[in-house]
């Protein structure tokens, strides 16, 4: 009875605490106190400079994350930014009329104009076309049709000319019937003719001459080159193109403006002695000069006036070349950036004069940025009226830097826009022995701060004071310290980005503590296309092991396919140094962190390869010893979503035929085969491995106890009809369905199976404790829905008798075997939900006592906190009094969206892809990190901070009250003494 009483007393208390409806809302002055927001764009692929005389200098960029943005050239800040959809990648960008940014996107089918100063969209045109092709964009500056610049777009086999004022199509010329692959659209300066050149087949060269005013075909020339072509053509001068022949051993010059098309052939071996046949023409837009890449060399070749080719220079290092930039009096310049012993060398050269360097600067560059990938140059007038040049460079780690006068003016860590995986690390414990001066200063600051705060609370503060208070709160020294704090709010977020760079971000203010470009994830001879897969906690030293630094395991593979060999890196989490790296002989399909650690607290990991072999790491005999003890209890499962098969495996003795004691064969224990004609797997979700569940018991109506079925081995699977598996295919409700499963991954038992007829994906789901919440689309109701499934253990349901509990006649402590037939019941309920959802996760706290909130990444790139109590199968239209007291909310058909419960308040996490929650040491608090193109971090308390005083608690007020009270006691004491004395003398 005692326990039950305790539960009955404790639970309502908790629920009372949890019942704050507006559980996450902020005041205006609290923004930025415990959250931070960073804006990024991604790796830049095009940049155009804005050289308008009025206004500040800007650069407009488009990136690989489908972002177009306007940046301040002085500071690198974002003026405006647009994140296009995931399928709307930008093909080209240019400036028209000096005030519009023109972007071509979605494989050349959407052309948009944005207003340069504020980024508002001016017009949008959809271009039709029949066949996929290269997408080319060019704005004809010197050709005016009624004071209007003409925009030429070649896309989908069709050449369009559009007005830059309103995006109206002026004329169209369809090439799809001609079976030509158009390579270039050329407009010789000063003429109103344009040329479309391209190949038919591999050896026929075609050139079309078109009137730019009306799209009339003036001339069509064609010539065959018997050796065939390789790759693309490059325009080197107004009338000459360069390409490679099919064997890649010689350069072909094509002269197309004469009556006849002339070909000229030059062997690369004649130009470069020690050349192989793997030459590539570097894409560049220079005139009279071009670069080819032969082996590791970049060879610059000039076209002489007679049409001959001659080598002007050979650069031995990885180099990047900019496009030509015309500055005063028709002079053209371009920039070359190369790496010379640890520094980068920026050279700006005149187009026609190779030896006349306009600029030569060498800049010290952090080697963590890798090689230069791209360079864009811009000119400006110096104070002495000469021409200066600045260069925008894109590095291997995706960072963007502006170089001017031999220095890095600003840099942006654009790699953080493409986070692949996130993990956390604790900060070092604070060392004892802080100097007295520091304390005194801190004490003074502390007192000063509190007096200011007191002023604020007593409404005595002036405007400046308020500003100081706010500034102090935002830049609190406490927040960004590099040591562990008592509440566990300060941590390091270790993020792996697509560039193969690892960053440690401080949770206090989001600054980069260290960054590391992983050598194992860089492109090299043995590893052509490295991809980062994930980060795992490798070594987490115990609290008392102060001298050890935790380390992180980074897993990657050398190629886009699952059977590519893997790479591992071990990185120190405090200083960001690569401790070790391994090139694996096997592939990596799954990484399973095992719940075992060895004597130096390294976590054991199993890596499963494409052949279903398991490899144990770390490769020590001690690890083998630990693993052997638990060998028979290790099960794993694999999901083959393409074939609709889920299989369970256990491990056998060592691999056959391989002399490797860390390799284990696995065998199939169970399989579930979804019929391919009716079901397709679209989502699988498991519980978080490190989730803590506080209690297994759930009290119902204050009387009854239900036991949650809590198993680490549950897998939620959602399948849909194959017809409806794409993103919103046109299907009728009758031919689409969604089936959800709860599967035990040790035995392969299906514990729950349920069909939602007339529903389709995409499904987003989250699994926690004993419940799953998933989001899908209901075709019948034309609305999004969210459903919850809760699963309860019936085999323990009769442990309600207190006497039994007292005398130990219960089965609560007996070990659970999954081979027993499970006695479970499931409860489920569905609700409508307004938004479509990008991702769902759940808050997690240190002990799991605090009630849970779902964090929903909405389609508007915001994070919405929704109380789990809204998704409770026990909700009914008219809850009983007991249920009401317990906090069961009356059933409504849709889930409420309370504007105050947006965790991101007014901010947007553009391109939101994932949300990670990490428990703080303080039970009430959870740390949430949302990432996409932007990063957002906040601290949230789903049931309010019931276990600590709030940030703005005024200690000074408390202190002053105490002092005043003590003073009052003394005064009254003295007074009473005096009175007594007087009375005595009477």
Partner 1 sequence: MSLLHSLLTLSLLFSSSLAFRSDELLIDDEEFGLEGGVQGHPKSPAVAQTRSSPPPSTATTTRKRYSDSDQDSKIQFSLEHAFGDSEFSPAGTFTARLKTWNHGGQTLTKLRFSRNDFTELEKEKFQNVLKGDDFYKIRLPSNVLSPPGREFIISSVKARCLPREGLDEHFVIHMEGINILAVNYGSPGACPHPRQLKLPTKWSFNSHTVLKNTEQAQRTPIFSEEILGGEIGEGGEVVMPPERSFWAKYWMYLIPLGLIVMNAITQAMNMPEEQAGGQPQQPGAAVQRGPPAAVRRR
Would you tell me which residues interact with partner 1 (CB under 8 A)?
A: 632, 643, 645, 647, 650, 652, 667-676, 678-679, 739-740, 747-750, 753-757, 778, 781, 785, 787, 795, 814-817, 819-821, 828-832, 877, 884, 890-893, 977, 980, 983-984
Under a CB-based contact definition with an 8 Å cutoff, are residues 121 and 113 in contact? Answer: yes
User: Which residues make Cβ contacts (< 8 Å) with residue 807, sequence separation at least 6?
Assistant: none
Q: Exposed, middle or buried: residue 511 (CB in 10 Å: 0-12, 13-18, 19+)?
A: exposed
Sign of the dihedral defined by the CA atoms of residues 455, 458, 461, 465, in that order: positive
DSSP letter assigned to residue 902: B
Q: In terms of CB distance, is 216 or 977 closer to partner 1? A: 977
Q: Exposed, middle or buried: residue 850 (CB in 10 Å: 0-12, 13-18, 19+)?
A: buried
Q: In terms of CB distance, is 405 or 892 closer to partner 1? A: 892
Residue with tokens 């349901």: 797
DSSP per-residue letters across 643-666: TTEEEEEEEEEE-TT---TTEEEE
Shortest approach of partner 1 to residue 842 CB, angstroms? 22
Q: In terms of CB distance, is 311 or 975 closer to partner 1? A: 975
Shortest approach of partner 1 to residue 226 CB, angstroms? 51
What's the farthest any 2 CA atoms get from each other in the chain? 134
Under a CB-based contact definition with an 8 Å cutoff, are residues 855 and 915 in contact? Answer: yes
Cα–Cα distance measured from residue 666 to residue 816, given in angstroms and rounded to the nearest whole number: 24
Shortest approach of partner 1 to residue 769 CB, angstroms? 21
User: Which residues make Cβ contacts (< 8 Å) with residue 337, sequence separation at least 6?
Assistant: 319, 320, 344, 345, 346, 347, 372, 375, 391, 393
Q: In terms of CB distance, is 21 or 611 closer to partner 1? A: 21
Distance of CA 559 to the CA centre of its chain: 20
Q: Exposed, middle or buried: residue 690 (CB in 10 Å: 0-12, 13-18, 19+)?
A: exposed
Shortest approach of partner 1 to residue 787 CB, angstroms? 7
Q: In terms of CB distance, is 271 or 738 closer to partner 1? A: 738
Shortest approach of partner 1 to residue 22 CB, angstroms? 13
Q: In terms of CB distance, is 438 or 821 closer to partner 1? A: 821
Shortest approach of partner 1 to residue 834 CB, angstroms? 13
287-293 long-range contacts, CB within 8 A, separation 24+: 287/236, 287/237, 287/238, 287/324, 287/332, 287/351, 288/236, 288/237, 288/351, 288/352, 289/236, 289/351, 289/354, 290/234, 290/236, 290/242, 291/321, 292/251, 292/268
Shortest approach of partner 1 to residue 649 CB, angstroms? 11
Shortest approach of partner 1 to residue 669 CB, angstroms? 5
Q: In terms of CB distance, is 97 or 669 closer to partner 1? A: 669
User: Which residues make Cβ contacts (< 8 Å) with residue 982, sequence separation at least 6?
Assistant: none
Q: In terms of CB distance, is 671 or 713 closer to partner 1? A: 671
**Rounded (5°) CA angle 710-713-719:** 105
From the DSSP assignment, how many helices (H) and strands (E) are in the chain? 8, 64
Q: In terms of CB distance, is 165 or 816 closer to partner 1? A: 816
Shortest approach of partner 1 to residue 892 CB, angstroms? 7
Under a CB-based contact definition with an 8 Å cutoff, are residues 841 and 852 in contact? Answer: no
Shortest approach of partner 1 to residue 671 CB, angstroms? 5
Name the nearest CA neighbour of 768 among 871, 876, 857, 672: 871
Q: In terms of CB distance, is 301 or 672 closer to partner 1? A: 672
The angle that helices 436-457 and 463-474 make with each other, rounded to 10 degrees, is 130
Shortest approach of partner 1 to residue 668 CB, angstroms? 6
Q: In terms of CB distance, is 471 or 890 closer to partner 1? A: 890
Q: In terms of CB distance, is 413 or 785 closer to partner 1? A: 785
Shortest approach of partner 1 to residue 21 CB, angstroms? 9
Shortest approach of partner 1 to residue 675 CB, angstroms? 4
Q: In terms of CB distance, is 363 or 797 closer to partner 1? A: 797
Cα–Cα distance measured from residue 179 to residue 182, given in angstroms and rounded to the nearest whole number: 9
Q: In terms of CB distance, is 308 or 757 closer to partner 1? A: 757
Q: Cis link prior to 762 (omega < 30° from 0)?
A: yes
Shortest approach of partner 1 to residue 814 CB, angstroms? 7
CB atoms within 10 A of CB 306: 5
Shortest approach of partner 1 to residue 882 CB, angstroms? 14
Residue with tokens 């001959």: 308
Sign of the dihedral defined by the CA atoms of residues 26, 30, 34, 37, in that order: positive
Kindly state the tokens that stand for 296.
């590791």
Cα–Cα distance measured from residue 375 to residue 286, given in angstroms and rounded to the nearest whole number: 13
Cα–Cα distance measured from residue 740 to residue 349, given in angstroms and rounded to the nearest whole number: 64
Q: In terms of CB distance, is 450 or 749 closer to partner 1? A: 749
Q: In terms of CB distance, is 781 or 949 closer to partner 1? A: 781
CA 458, 462, 467, 468: dihedral to nearest 10 degrees? Answer: -80
Cα–Cα distance measured from residue 71 to residue 656, given in angstroms and rounded to the nearest whole number: 59
Q: In terms of CB distance, is 289 or 871 closer to partner 1? A: 871
């Amino acid at each position: 009875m005692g326990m039950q009483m305790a539960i009955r007393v404790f639970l309502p208390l908790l629920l009372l605490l949890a019942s704050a409806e507006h559980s996450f809302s902020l005041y205006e002055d609290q923004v930025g106190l415990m959250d931070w927001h960073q804006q990024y764009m991604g790796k830049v692929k095009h940049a155009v400079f804005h050289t308008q005389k009025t206004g500040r200098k800007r650069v407009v960029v488009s990136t690989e994350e489908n972002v177009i943005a306007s940046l301040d050239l002085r500071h690198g800040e974002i003026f405006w930014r647009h994140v296009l959809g995931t399928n709307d990648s930008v093909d080209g960008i240019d400036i028209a009329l000096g005030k519009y940014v023109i972007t071509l996107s979605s494989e050349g089918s959407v052309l948009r104009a944005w207003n340069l100063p504020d980024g508002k969209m001016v017009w949008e045109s959809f271009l039709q076309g029949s066949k996929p092709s290269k997408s080319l964009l060019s704005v004809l500056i010197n050709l005016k049709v009624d004071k209007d610049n003409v925009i030429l777009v070649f896309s989908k086999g069709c050449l369009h000319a559009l007005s830059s004022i309103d995006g109206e199509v002026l004329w169209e010329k369809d090439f799809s019937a001609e079976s030509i692959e158009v390579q270039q659209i050329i407009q010789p300066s000063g003429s109103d003719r344009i040329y479309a050149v391209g190949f038919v087949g591999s050896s026929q060269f075609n050139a079309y001459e078109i009137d730019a005013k009306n799209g009339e075909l003036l001339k069509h020339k064609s010539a065959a080159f018997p050796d065939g072509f390789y790759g693309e053509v490059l325009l080197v001068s107004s009338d000459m193109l360069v390409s490679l022949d099919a064997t890649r051993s010689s350069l072909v010059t094509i002269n197309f403006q004469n009556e006849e098309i002339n070909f000229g052939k030059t062997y690369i071996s004649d130009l470069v002695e020690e050349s192989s046949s793997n030459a590539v023409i570097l894409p560049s837009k220079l005139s009279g000069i071009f670069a080819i890449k032969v082996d590791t060399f970049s060879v610059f070749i000039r076209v002489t006036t007679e049409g001959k080719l001659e080598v002007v220079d050979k650069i031995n290092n990885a180099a990047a070349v900019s496009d030509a930039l015309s500055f005063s009096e028709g002079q053209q310049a371009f920039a070359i950036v190369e790496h010379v012993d640890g520094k980068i060398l920026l050279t700006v050269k005149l187009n026609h004069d190779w030896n006349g360097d306009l600029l030569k600067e060498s800049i010290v560059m952090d080697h963590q940025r890798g090689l230069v990938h791209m360079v864009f140059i811009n000119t400006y007038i110096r104070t002495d009226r000469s021409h200066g040049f600045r260069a925008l460079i894109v590095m291997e780690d995706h960072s963007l830097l502006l170089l001017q006068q031999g220095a890095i003016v600003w840099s942006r860590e654009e790699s953080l826009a493409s986070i692949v995986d996130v993990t956390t690390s604790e900060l070092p414990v604070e060392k004892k022995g802080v100097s007295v001066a520091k304390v005194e200063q801190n004490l003074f600051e502390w007192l000063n701060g509190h007096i200011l705060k007191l002023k604020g609370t007593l409404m005595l503060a002036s405007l400046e004071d308020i500003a100081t208070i706010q500034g102090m709160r935002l830049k609190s020294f406490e927040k960004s310290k590099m040591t562990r704090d008592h509440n566990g709010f300060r941590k390091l977020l270790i993020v792996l980005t697509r560039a193969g760079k690892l960053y440690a971000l401080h949770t206090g203010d989001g600054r980069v503590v260290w960054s590391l470009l992983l050598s194992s994830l860089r492109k090299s001879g043995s590893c052509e296309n490295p991809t980062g897969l994930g980060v795992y906690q490798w070594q987490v030293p115990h609290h008392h092991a102060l001298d050890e630094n935790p380390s992180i395991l980074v897993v990657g593979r050398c190629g886009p396919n699952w059977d590519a060999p893997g790479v591992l890196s071990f990185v120190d989490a405090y200083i960001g140094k690569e401790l070790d790296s391994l090139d694996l002989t096997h592939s990596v399909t799954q990484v399973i962190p095992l719940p075992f650690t060895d004597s130096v607290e390294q976590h054991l990991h199993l890596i499963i390869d494409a052949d279903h072999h398991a490899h144990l790491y770390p490769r020590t005999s001690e690890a083998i010893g630990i693993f052997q003890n638990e060998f028979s209890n290790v099960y794993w499962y694999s999901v083959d979503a393409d074939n609709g098969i889920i299989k369970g495996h256990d491990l056998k003795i060592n691999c056959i035929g391989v002399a490797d004691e860390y390799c284990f064969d696995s065998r199939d224990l169970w399989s579930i085969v979804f019929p391919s004609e009716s079901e397709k797997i679209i989502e699988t979700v498991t519980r978080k491995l490190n989730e803590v569940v506080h209690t297994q018991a759930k009290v119902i109506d204050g009387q009854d106890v239900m036991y949650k079925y809590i198993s680490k081995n549950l897998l939620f699977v959602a399948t849909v009809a194959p017809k409806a598996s794409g993103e919103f295919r046109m299907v009728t409700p009758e031919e689409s369905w969604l089936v959800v499963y709860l599967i035990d991954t040790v035995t392969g038992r299906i514990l729950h199976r349920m069909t939602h007829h007339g529903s389709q994906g995409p499904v987003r789901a989250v699994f926690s404790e004993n419940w799953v919440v998933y989001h899908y689309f209901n075709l019948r109701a034309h609305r999004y829905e969210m459903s919850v499934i809760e699963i309860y253990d019936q085999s323990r349901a009769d442990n309600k008798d207190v006497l039994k509990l007292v005398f130990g006649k219960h089965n609560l402590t007996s070990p659970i075997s999954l081979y027993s037939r499970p006695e479970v019941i499931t409860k489920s309920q569905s609700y409508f939900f307004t938004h479509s959802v990008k991702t769902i996760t759940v808050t997690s706290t240190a002990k799991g006592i605090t009630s849970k909130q779902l964090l929903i990444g909405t389609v508007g790139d915001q994070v919405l906190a929704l109380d789990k109590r809204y998704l409770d199968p026990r909700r009914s239209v008219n809850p009983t009094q007991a249920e009401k007291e317990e906090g069961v909310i009356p059933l409504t058909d849709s889930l409420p969206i309370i504007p105050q419960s947006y965790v991101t308040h007014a901010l947007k996490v553009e391109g939101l892809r994932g949300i990670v929650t990490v428990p703080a040491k303080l039970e009430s608090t959870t740390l949430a990190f949302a990432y996409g193109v932007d990063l957002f971090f906040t601290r949230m308390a789903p049931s309010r901070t019931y276990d600590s005083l709030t940030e703005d608690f005024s200690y000074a007020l408390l202190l002053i009250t105490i002092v005043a009270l003590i003073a009052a006691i003394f005064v009254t004491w003295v007074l009473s003494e005096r009175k007594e004395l007087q009375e005595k003398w009477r």
